[in-house]
């Protein structure tokens, strides 16, 4: 499966829709202040990770809001892509969530390899 990147809108919205228009606008305002959440599905290779990095960078600069990457639907991640994700987390403050055991291990191994090649802090302690 090719990579699919989807922005999840309204993750902080309540399950019930407010009846009062003042309450509705307040709920929308709170969601607009929250982080941008990108759900990534499929397999991630280096070109995909670089594209994701560019998208996150653009979103962050345009909106001045934090970005969260949701990887729970990601089925494969190669080592070069894991390095890109670690770099995004360290340098750009991107939060990464939804790591399954395999993806987390690939990222940890990539981070350990990067640490041996130069000074860096752990991507996922």
Q: What is the pLDDT along the chain (125 residues), one digit of tens a residue?
A: 689 999 998 754 333 344 454 444 444 445 567 899 999 999 999 999 999 999 999 998 998 899 999 999 999 999 999 999 999 998 888 999 999 999 999 988 888 887 776 644 566 55
Q: Does some domain include residue 30? A: no
Give the contacts of 44 (CB within 8 A, at least 6 positions apart).
Answer: 3, 52, 74, 76, 77, 78, 81
Q: Which domain holds residue 70?
A: 4-10+36-117
pTM to 2 decimal places: 0.74
Q: Classify residue 44 as left (phi > 0), alpha (psi -120 to 50) or beta.
A: beta
Give the per-residue pLDDT at 45: 96
Domain total in the chain: 1
Q: Does some domain include residue 17? A: no
Give the contacts of 43 (CB within 8 A, at least 6 positions apart).
Answer: 1, 2, 3, 74, 75, 76, 77
Give the per-residue pLDDT at 43: 95
List the CATH number of the domain containing 48.
3.30.750.24
Give the contacts of 3 (CB within 8 A, at least 6 positions apart).
Answer: 40, 41, 42, 43, 44, 45, 48, 51, 52
Q: Does some domain include residue 95? A: yes
Give the per-residue pLDDT at 2: 83
């Amino acid at each position: 499966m090719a990579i699919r990147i989807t922005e999840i809108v309204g993750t902080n919205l309540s399950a019930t829709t407010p009846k009062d228009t003042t309450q509705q606008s307040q709920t929308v305002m709170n969601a607009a202040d929250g982080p941008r959440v990108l759900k990534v599905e499929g397999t991630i290779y280096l070109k995909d990770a670089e594209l994701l990095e560019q998208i996150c960078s653009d979103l962050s600069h345009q909106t001045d809001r934090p970005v969260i990457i949701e990887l729970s639907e990601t089925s494969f991640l190669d080592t070069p892509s894991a390095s890109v994700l670690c770099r995004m987390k360290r340098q750009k403050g991107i939060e990464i969530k939804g790591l399954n055991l395999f993806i987390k291990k690939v990222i940890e191994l990539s981070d350990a390899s990067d640490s041996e090649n130069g000074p860096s802090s752990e991507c996922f302690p």
